[in-house]
């Protein structure tokens, strides 16, 4: 499954601070359809994410019935992006089981 969407980068200050982009509801619904086939526990969904020229392997985190994409510091530096920036995100999820 390949999905593309745009979203705003936001920062979570919790005990382990991190930057994220929220997956829009329509894309999250598509992911829900294959979640049982691909999750490795706790609702985490393995994916290859692409922003700009940078791709990396990560896992989407479940949040509020949807998903969020964690953004590593190296990705933010490589793409010169930060909080409140709007980015185009490509997700590739292997739903072939």
Encode pLDDT of 43-71 as tens digits: 999 999 999 999 999 999 999 999 999 99
Q: Is residue 95 part of a domain?
A: no
* Residue 36 DSSP label: H
Phi, psi torsion values for 55, nearest 5 degrees: -125, 145
Q: Which of 65, 64, 47, 63 is nearest to 55 (CA)?
A: 47
Q: Is residue 97 part of a domain?
A: no
Q: Is residue 96 part of a domain?
A: no
Residue 97 has pLDDT above 60, yes or no: no
Tokens representing 32? 């829900």
Number of domains in the chain: 1
Identify the domain containing residue 47 by its residue range. Answer: 2-89
User: What is the distance between the alpha carbons of residues 90 and 87, in angstroms, rounded to a whole number?
Assistant: 10
Q: What is the CATH number of the domain that holds 45?
A: 2.40.30.100
Q: Band of the pLDDT at 96, cuts 50, 70, 90?
A: low
Q: What percent of the chain has pLDDT over 70?
A: 98
pLDDT of residue 77: 96
């Amino acid at each position: 499954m390949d999905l593309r969407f745009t979203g705003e980068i936001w920062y979570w200050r919790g005990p382990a601070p991190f930057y994220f982009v929220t997956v829009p509801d329509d894309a999250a619904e598509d992911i829900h359809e294959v979640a049982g086939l691909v999750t490795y526990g706790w609702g985490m969904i393995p994916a290859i994410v692409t922003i700009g020229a940078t791709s990396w392997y990560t896992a989407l985190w479940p949040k509020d019935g949807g998903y969020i994409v964690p953004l590593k510091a190296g990705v933010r530096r490589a793409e010169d992006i930060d909080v409140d920036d709007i980015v185009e995100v490509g997700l590739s999820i292997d739903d072939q089981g």
